[in-house]
Structure 1
Amino acid sequence: MSVSILPSDPELTRMHGRAELGFVHVDGADRLAHLYQRAPLRVLFPDPPADEPPQAALVTTSGGLAGGDVLELSVHTGPRARALVVGSAAEKIYRSTGADTVMDVHLTIDAAARLEYLPQETILFDGARLRRTTRIDAAADARVLVGEMLVFGRTAKGERLHTGLLREAWEIRRAGRLVWADALHMDTDLRALLDAAACFDGAVAAASLVLLTDDATDLRDRIRTDHADYAGRFGAGIINGVLVARWLDRDAQSLRAAFGQTWKTLRHQALGLPAHLPRLWDI
């Protein structure tokens, strides 16, 4: 169960959405065992292809999030179970008048289980204030593939992100031990950081991907080679057994394409699944 992180002034909380998902492996099949959902966060269950695990598609029925809104997601994959949780569309974070938008994701993966968590882009409108935390608690032999993408402004409309707040935090525990923690925190004058050569160097989009598996050295080398001609910035390394890959790009679609190709490679090589993305990804 994840811990709520609420804005300091409860009167500013416009919406508090929550979804809980639990998957089990029974009689040789992976099944949904637990579901709780509260608007504006809803879950749909598309029929997966025969060679795919159960799929859960997340939908924010409000069409976007504003200051004071809270979304919480909890996913539990039981022993030997497999599951894919995917975003149905880009998440929009609207301009805030002062309160923060809070997103809290807690993923628990038991022994010999497999989980993919693949949200689509989070688009930060100018003036947005987002605090997002992703916590992963995995068994020693669990395999987990998780990612997040950020777009700095409504780039399709020529908007740039100037002010606001962005806090993107990660915590990964394996067999109860903290193996990786990371936080990006930018406040107020975001434009200066996004333009600075030593920071984002003019990027309009960024992405992070983490993979928990057995020895990932060959996979790290493979995806580095795959990005030899990539026009944006890319890096991949292994920290305490966690493969971490990151992108920066001045073209959001270019980043999305590179991210998606890497996801296909890793899900196939590390999770033994077909090298393709969910159908929702291309809608």
Structure 2
Amino acid sequence: MTAETARHWQAAPVDSGHRFDATRRWDASLSLEFAARATDADSRMRTRLTRARHHGPLRVQRPFYPEPRLAGQADPCHVYLLHPPGGLVSGDALKIDATVAPMAHAVLTTPAATKLYRADSRGVVWSQTNRLEVEDGGVLEWLPQETIAFDGSRGEQRTDIDLHGSARCLGWEIMALGRPASHLPFESGRIEQRFQLTHDGRPLWIERQPLDPMHPRFTGRWGQGGATVQATLWAAGLNDLRQAVDNLRDAIPAAGNWAVTQRHGVLLLRYLGDSRNEAWALCRAAWQAIRPLMIARDACEPRIWRT
């Protein structure tokens, strides 16, 4: 690139999406709505994807209906969230909004791991914001595959969940720091994770977690303890939290880097260790144990997980 061309790109308007200076930004957004509708064939209820608006490189595949029909329930709608670049770089700003209407049931996942790439020489950050709303009687399962943070990545992940009435939500977030197999640990950069879950406007769970390898918390036994993989699974809307905890302890070996607790009607399972496969297997086993209690359905894994 010539000096004249570089000056041209750096002088481009902010909203052009093609800046290469410290203020550049590439937006992508996806807005989804799910509603329960009667089918024409036999009037049974099925969850339909009634809105899918996107801007930039965020898409969804067609809805899938792999689960058996159950009386009194709308057929769950499985949707795969696609981000063709496969990861976030400096300046990326992803926004995902999903709304589940009364009696509808949506299962959202991703086709592969999300990668958080190293920040550029100017340290420009990326961001991802997930806003999930479930109306009275609706069900949402938020089951993305893991996120892998490369050394030097800088950005913020935020997940806000708003539940109303008898809404239920089951989900997880799995974060792997660095690439130990390639001898590339997470030694620099900073990632901030924020979670907020409310019920009818009342906060149930609010959490902020900075991941900074330069902070004593990152290696201290009182904090991260040097672990390279962490996961959080949550479940809100369970009728019997005690039974859910017992089911987890029966389904998952007691020896392991995990713990479970419940507070304000929210069940939280945590993993802290050094194995993405172990964290993934733990979350799947926990989901399989909790799902029948929450929605009276056995776990039905999205087909994309087997590819």
Q: Compute the TM-score of the two structures, normalised by the length of structure 2.
A: 0.83
Measure, in 2, the Cα distance between the counterparts of 1:260 and 1:217.
20
Partner of 1:66: 89
Partner of 1:211: 235
Deviation at 1:46, TM superposition (A): 4.7
Identical positions, percent: 28
SS at match of 1:223: helix
Measure, in 2, the Cα distance between the counterparts of 1:261 and 1:45.
27
Match of 1:38 among 35, 38, 55: 55
> What RMSD, in angstroms, separates the aligned Cα atoms of the two structures?
1.8
Partner of 1:142: 167
Partner of 1:3: none
Partner of 1:187: 212
The residue type paired with residue 90 of structure 1 is A
CA contact (8 A) 2:33 2:100 kept: yes
Equivalent runs, 1:71-150 vs 2, <5 Å: 71-97=94-120, 98-150=123-175
CA contact (8 A) 2:49 2:63 kept: no
CA contact (8 A) 1:54 1:83 kept: yes
Match of 2:198 among 146, 154, 173: 173
Measure, in 1, the Cα distance between the counterparts of 2:232 and 2:151.
21
CA contact (8 A) 1:135 1:171 kept: yes
SS at match of 1:11: coil
**2:41 is the counterpart of 1:25:** no
CA contact (8 A) 1:16 1:71 kept: yes
**2:35 is the counterpart of 1:11:** no
Which consecutive unaligned segments of at least 5 residues does structure 2 have?
1-20, 39-44, 69-74
Measure, in 1, the Cα distance between the counterparts of 2:187 and 2:66.
43
Match of 1:164 among 167, 184, 189: 189
CA contact (8 A) 1:264 1:277 kept: no
Q: Deviations over 1:150-193 (max 9, x none)?
A: 00112332321011111111111112211111110133616x54
Partner of 2:258: 234
Measure, in 2, the Cα distance between the counterparts of 1:202 and 1:155.
12
CA contact (8 A) 2:251 2:285 kept: no
Compared CA separation, residues 264 and 10, structure 1 to 2 (3 A): farther
Deviation at 1:273, TM superposition (A): 2.3
Measure, in 1, the Cα distance between the counterparts of 2:166 and 2:22.
40
Measure, in 1, the Cα distance between the counterparts of 2:193 and 2:113.
17
Compared CA separation, residues 178 and 70, structure 1 to 2 (3 A): same
The residue type paired with residue 95 of structure 2 is E
SS at match of 2:292: helix
Deviation at 1:124, TM superposition (A): 0.3
Measure, in 2, the Cα distance between the counterparts of 1:156 and 1:252.
11
Deviation at 1:53, TM superposition (A): 1.0
Compared CA separation, residues 10 and 41, structure 1 to 2 (3 A): farther
The residue type paired with residue 204 of structure 1 is T
SS at match of 2:23: helix
Deviation at 1:60, TM superposition (A): 1.1
SS at match of 2:189: strand
Measure, in 2, the Cα distance between the counterparts of 1:196 and 1:243.
26
Partner of 1:243: 267
SS at match of 1:127: coil
Larger fraction in strand: 1
Q: Deviations over 1:38-59 (max 9, x none)?
A: 2221111253214251111011
The residue type paired with residue 285 of structure 2 is Q
Larger radius of gyration: 2
Deviation at 1:247, TM superposition (A): 0.5
Q: Deviations over 1:47-89 (max 9, x none)?
A: 3214251111011111211121111000000011111111111
**2:65 is the counterpart of 1:48:** yes
Partner of 1:260: 284
Structure 1 range deviating more: 216-225 or 258-267: 216-225
SS at match of 2:288: helix
